[in-house]
Each structure stands twice: as structure tokens, then as C-alpha cells.
Amino acid sequence: MLPESPPAAEQQLVARLRAQDESAMTEFYDKYSAALYGVILRIVRREEEAEDVLQEAMVKIWHSFQSYDASKGRLFTWVLNVCRNLAIDKIRSRQYRVSSHSQPLDESPAERQPAVDSFRPEHIGLQELTRRLNPEQRQIVDLLYFEGYTQSEVADELNMPLGTVKTRARAAIKVLSTLIR
């Protein structure tokens, strides 16, 4: 099964970004900001920092756009990784500065505000996802994806062999995949 090629709108946006058309970034923002902001906020947990990271990410995406290879995957996957990396860098540098100020997750604004504006038709809410993933699976994905943990850190944290981290991550993502169809 080969994946379908990206929609024409995405191809157009990519072409404009590659041509360094600044107005394309406005369209980019309108299309992706909610998803990117949500992920960034989930990682950094502070609204001002999330805003900074989002802006940094826009600049980084703009300047490094030539390194995006559409044949290897969707634009969203690529920009998501740019944002995740910047956000994780942010919390890592913060951990060096102050370790005591991190907010607990349930106080994070991400938990209070409703998710809106999806650009994907198959969008599923967080409630639905958490219902489908069992707690162990969700924990592993969250640690790896949102907390900036390495696999070995996860293995240490959850006191399990490295191989188990790998198979649980696969199992969790498999569950997520089934929700797309």
C-alpha cells in the first residue's frame, strides 16, 4: 500500500515556501498553527514560551525549507518535528536553569482549552485517543514524544528493558494507525 500523494493545496503551499514567498507563511500559519501550538504548549507548558517557540519555529521552517523533501513525507510531519525539537530544546535548557518551576500537567492550559480547527478530515479528539490507548501505551508515547525522553531514559524511568520500550511504542502507534482508517 503506497500512501496517497499530498493534496494539491499542500503541494502549492510547499512550492510557494520553496520560492520564499513570504505571504505563504501566513497561509501556513492559518493552516497549521493550532496543531503546532497545541503540541508546543503540551511540551513547554507555558503560554509565553509556546508563543516564542512557535515564532522561532516559523523562522526556522522558513530558512531551512530547502531541506524539506516532499518525497519523504508530508509537510505536517516535517514541521511538527521542527516544532517538537525546538520545544524540547526549550524545556531542556530550562531544566538546566530552574528545575523546580515546572507546572504539573493538570494545571497546563492545554488541558483546559478545547481543541478546534482541524485541517485533517480524520481528526480525532484527545478524549477519543486516550480512550483507545491504554495508560501504558499513552505514557510511553508521551514520554518519547512530548517530554523529550530518550528510549533509554524511558527504560530507566519505567524500569523495563530497552526492547520493551520499542515494542510498546510500536503497539501504541499501531493503535493510533487504526484510528486513521
Partner 1 sequence: MNIEEYIESGQLELYALQQLSPAEAAEVERLAAEHPPIRAELISVQRALGLYAEAHALTPPAGLRERVLSGFQQAIQPQSAAEPATPTEPAAPYIAPAAPHYEAAPAETVVRTLPAAEAGSGFRWLAIAASVALLLSLGANWLFYSRWQQSENQLVLAQAKEQLYAAATQAVEKRLATRTEELGILRDEQFRMVVMTGTPQAPGARARVMYNPVSRRVYVDVKNLPAAPSGKQYQLWALDKGKPVDAGMLAQTTAVGDSLQRMKDVASAQAFAVTLEDAGGHPTPTMAALTVMGQML
**Range 38-97, binding partner 1 (CB under 8 A):** 38-39, 41-42, 47, 51, 54-55, 58-60, 62-69, 71-74, 76-78, 80-82, 84-86, 88-89, 92-93
22 binds partner 1 (CB under 8 A): yes
13 binds partner 1 (CB under 8 A): no
107 binds partner 1 (CB under 8 A): no
With CB under 8 A as the contact rule, the residue among 9, 105, 117, 134 that binds partner 1 is 117
106 binds partner 1 (CB under 8 A): no
With CB under 8 A as the contact rule, the residue among 15, 113, 131, 156 that binds partner 1 is 113
5 binds partner 1 (CB under 8 A): no
CA angle 130, 131, 132 (to 5 degrees): 90
144 binds partner 1 (CB under 8 A): yes
With CB under 8 A as the contact rule, the residue among 105, 107, 136, 170 that binds partner 1 is 170
In angstroms and rounded to an integer, the radius of gyration of the C-alpha atoms of the chain is 17
20 binds partner 1 (CB under 8 A): yes
Give the distance, in angstroms, between the CA of residue 174 and the centroid of all CA atoms in the same chain: 17
Cell 500523494, residue?
5
Q: Provide the 10 A C-beta neighbour count for residue 4.
A: 6
Length of the chain: 181
Beta carbons of 165 and 151 less than 8 angstroms apart: yes
CB of 159 to partner 1, least distance (A): 19
DSSP, collapsed to helix, strand or coil, labels residue 102 as: coil
Q: Which stretch binds partner 1 (CB under 8 A): 8-16, 30-38, 98-106?
A: 30-38
By CB neighbour count within 10 A (0-12 exposed, 13-18 middle, 19+ buried), where does 157 fall?
Answer: middle
Cell of residue 108, nine digits: 497546563
Cell of residue 174, nine digits: 499501531
Q: Which is nearer to partner 1, 72 or 100 (CB)?
A: 72
CB of 179 to partner 1, least distance (A): 7
